[in-house]
Structure 1
Amino acid sequence: MYKPPNTKLRLSPQDEYTHAPEAARNYNESMYFNAFDTAKGVGLWLRIGNRVNEGYAEMSCCVYLPGGKVGFMFARPMITHNDAMDAGGMRFEVMEPFKRLRVKYEGELLIMDEPAAMADPSAAFKRYQKRPSTIYLEFEGVSPMHGGEIVNLDDTPIDLDPENSVYRGHTEQHMAVSGTVTVDGTKFKFENGTGYRDKSWGPRHWHNFSWYKWLPVAFDRDFGMLFSVKDPTAAALPISGNVLSNGEYEPVIDGRIWTEYDDDYHPKLLTAWITTTKKTYIVEGKVLSTVPLRHRKAGGDASSYTRITESMTEYTCEGRTVLGMTEYCDIIQDGVPLSVRQGRA
């Protein structure tokens, strides 16, 4: 995680809970979880982003089902405080800081035969039917915590420009997952699930991201990786992450990602070369299903927008295979991602 000069990272168990909102109108506090049962061919991710100064939360739920269907829901429920991660039928609870968390969702999911239809959300919500869903999952941390709040050396908050910020604090962790996921009457029991989580707080505009490629993968309780590649023209630390090996994180010091895209520039295949302080890992990924999500800048050019592709991916590395996430965020201009235009796909 990048730290500006003369700053440090500070992490407290209290950071697992919500923070007092800053005055910035675009203050955001968000938590994200993903979970996969590779044997059953099921995966999911969930997110709550409280934007209390704007009066609403962002609630997202996405379940990748066997056979290629995807259940998806997004809402902006109204909120009046930042005291909890609880919005739109979704709730995140901290049972033990850095160790155990609980995720619940009760609500509907839009069941899509063609997940790429979410590129036009209005049309997708008219085309597909909603079905009841319940999610109850327990997350157990199997790695050290990564990240914290960036502060000055004297522990005072750093100065941020809210209009150009994406977070003040950020944490991540590899997880083991158990529980149940029920979609339209079909129940899936996660027994040896793997997953990942992150949390951010501070002022954020989605369009402040240029582009990034984010690979959070947990192969089992003892092996996984977080690998991130960002726009080198906009990021002070374009390559970052960790490899989890036997309970410890090996810091990433170099790496790259090769991607094969389809006609819509959704990822199909990828190879990541991830170099840590100990060795280079080669990770192969085959995308099984992609949900494209867009964020338009208010008053901006209609032909340019931020797109995030959320892809359930079959990963292999050193003889192990598991389901995990591939998240690519990019500025799309006239249908082409900025990272592709830069030749850094």
Structure 2
Amino acid sequence: MDTSAPFTACQYGTDAEFTHDPAGIANYNESVYVNFVDPISEVSALMRIGNRPTMGYSEATVQLTLPGGRIALRAGRKPNESNEQWSTQGLTIKPKDPTRSWEVTYRNTVALISTPSLLAERGRQALKNSPSVECEISLTFEASVPMFTIAEDGDCTPGSSQIATDHYEQFGHVSGTVRLGSTTWTIDRATSFRDHSWGPREWASYTGEWLAAWLADGTAITAYGEFEPNGERASGGVVVTPDGVFHPIRDYTVYTDYAGEATYDGRNVGVITADGLPTLVLDGSINHFVPVTQRTADRAARMGQMSVRYAGGQGGWGIAEFLRPLT
């Protein structure tokens, strides 16, 4: 492999790995996101920074899902009119070797939450009233596949929602350490997914589901499904098989009656149709369900975030979301 060339299978390369000019877009958002699932320790995490310089703030999320159902969380906004880097509230996400390797570091406190459903309607109160624990994260993301897009134009979602006009993704592994209070986990090549998007963003414009999954045989999946205003469903994403071949997803159907509630006691069941592959049926038990409310101006959406373990012949694990607008 030529390590001097950009590791990309799309229109985005080394230059895209850094921040961009907001160009006066009123609801501009530029965000980087990294997650991982470690099926051995049963610890998973998602870490995200979103810069909204024209709106005057940056937002950060550090969320750890822990054995036994608890979560550790920091989520909030800080004043910021700059879009020069991704660093806020003790969290820094930055390219180490653009298109191939990123570093994620965090040093701050998190709230240890035993009942995540409280976040739905009383998020600030739940964070304030939960025990505060010191947390340190030091992880390196190493890409296992080239950067890719789910749509040729780089749009963030397959439908008409306004999430971001430029967007790419990448699968890989993370290694390093996660310390929570007196407990330290050593993470050794845990399955991971990252993305980078920029452009206008309205959270409440999206009604659908998202999934990042890793099957036991080494298959990696990112899948999106969105309901259009006319009731039709748009799907997108890719299935990357162990031989490194990308199979575009044509249909991602999720069977759920979730409508934005604070709790969900069902399963995460999805059916994926992708080019050149048999139909994939993913039937997952939900280990954690975290209802997060995203607000933009006068709009709000409920994001039900999940860690999932798959059963049967498609055994594996994943991180998933249900996104529903709140009226």
**Shorter-chain TM-score: which interval?**
0.7 to 0.9
Distance in structure 2 (CA, Å) of the matches to 1:232 and 1:58:
28
Distance in structure 2 (CA, Å) of the matches to 1:254 and 1:46:
28
* 1:237 CA displacement: 7.0
* 1:205 CA displacement: 2.1
Correspondence for 1:191 among 188, 201, 212: 188
* 1:65 CA displacement: 1.0
CA contact (8 A) 1:10 1:149 kept: no
Give the partner amino acid of 1:283. Answer: L
Aligned length: 309
Distance in structure 1 (CA, Å) of the matches to 2:311 and 2:287:
13
Match of 1:33 in 2: 34
Match of 1:343 in 2: none
Distance in structure 1 (CA, Å) of the matches to 2:29 and 2:230:
21
CA contact (8 A) 1:308 1:328 kept: yes
Match of 2:3 in 1: none
SS at match of 2:78: coil
Distance in structure 2 (CA, Å) of the matches to 1:311 and 1:59:
18
Gaps of 5+ in 2: 1-9, 156-160
Distance in structure 2 (CA, Å) of the matches to 1:239 and 1:134:
37
CA contact (8 A) 2:61 2:76 kept: yes
Which aligned pairs between 1:69-80 and structure 2 lie closer than 5 A?
69-80=70-81
CA contact (8 A) 1:194 1:220 kept: no
Correspondence for 1:145 among 137, 147, 150: 147
* 1:146 CA displacement: 1.9
Match of 2:229 in 1: 233
Q: Which moved more, 1:139-148 or 1:19-28?
A: 139-148
* 1:238 CA displacement: 0.7
Give the partner amino acid of 1:290. Answer: F
CA contact (8 A) 1:196 1:218 kept: no
Matched, 1:181 2:183: no
Match of 1:99 in 2: 100
Deviations 1:160-208 (A, max 9, x none): xxxx832120111112111111111210111130111111101212223
Give the partner amino acid of 1:269. Answer: R
TM-score by length of 2: 0.87
Give the partner amino acid of 2:62. Answer: C
SS at match of 1:14: helix
Deviations 1:37-87 (A, max 9, x none): 101010010100001122210011100111111001112122242111111
Which aligned pairs between 1:293-308 and structure 2 lie closer than 5 A?
293-299=292-298, 305-308=300-303
Measured at CA, do residues 139 and 316 of structure 1 come closer, stay the same or move farther in structure 2, by a change above 3 Å?
A: farther
Matched, 1:215 2:211: yes
SS at match of 2:16: helix
Match of 1:287 in 2: 286
SS at match of 2:99: coil
Distance in structure 1 (CA, Å) of the matches to 2:312 and 2:254:
14
Measured at CA, do residues 13 and 236 of structure 1 come closer, stay the same or move farther in structure 2, by a change above 3 Å?
A: farther
CA contact (8 A) 2:17 2:99 kept: yes
CA contact (8 A) 2:86 2:94 kept: yes
Q: CA-atom RMSD, angstroms?
A: 2.5
Gaps of 5+ in 1: 1-8, 153-157, 159-163, 334-345
Identity %: 26
SS at match of 1:147: coil
SS at match of 1:117: helix
TM-score by length of 1: 0.82
Deviations 1:132-173 (A, max 9, x none): 101111111112322289769xxxxx9xxxxx8321201111
Correspondence for 2:131 among 125, 129, 132: 129
Distance in structure 1 (CA, Å) of the matches to 2:194 and 2:246:
15
